[in-house]
Structure 1
Amino acid sequence: MTILPRLTAEPIMRILCKKTDTLVGYLYQWNNGDLQPAWLNDAMPDVRYEPMVEAA
């Protein structure tokens, strides 16, 4: 964790369930470099991360 305040964040990865491939959350990166998961429901242990697809 850095000493800079967290002001803005953007999603950088989708969090998917390994068993069902359903979306269960997003991984955000804050302006100071910190990473934080944002779960749609409860946190899950068996997940995989997939990069966000950038719009053209």
Structure 2
Amino acid sequence: MTRIPRLTGEPIMHILCKKTGKLVGYLYQWNNGDLQPAWFDGEVQDVLYKPIATAA
């Protein structure tokens, strides 16, 4: 973690369950560079991270 405060965050990746492929959360990147998972219904083990496609 950095000493710069977290002011804004943006989802950069989907967090998917390896077993089911179900979306279980998002990985956020904060303005200070910190990364933080945001789980829908509690932390899940054995996950895959898939980048969120951005519109061109």
C-alpha deviation, 1:42, in angstroms: 1.2
Structure 1 stretches of at least 4 aligned residues deviating more than 6 Å after TM superposition? none
Counterpart in 2 of 1:3? 3
Percent of pairs with identical residues: 70
Equivalent pairs counted in the alignment come to 56
**Cα distance between partner residues in 2 of 1:3 and 1:18:** 34
TM-score, with structure 1 as normaliser: 0.96
**TM-aligned CA deviation for residue 3 of structure 1:** 0.5
For residue 55 of structure 1, report the CA deviation from its aligned partner: 1.6
TM-score w.r.t. the length of structure 2 is: 0.96
Question: Where do 5+ consecutive residues of structure 1 fail to align?
Answer: none
Question: CA RMSD for the aligned pairs?
Answer: 0.6
Aligned pairs for 1:1-56 (under 5 A) are 1-56=1-56
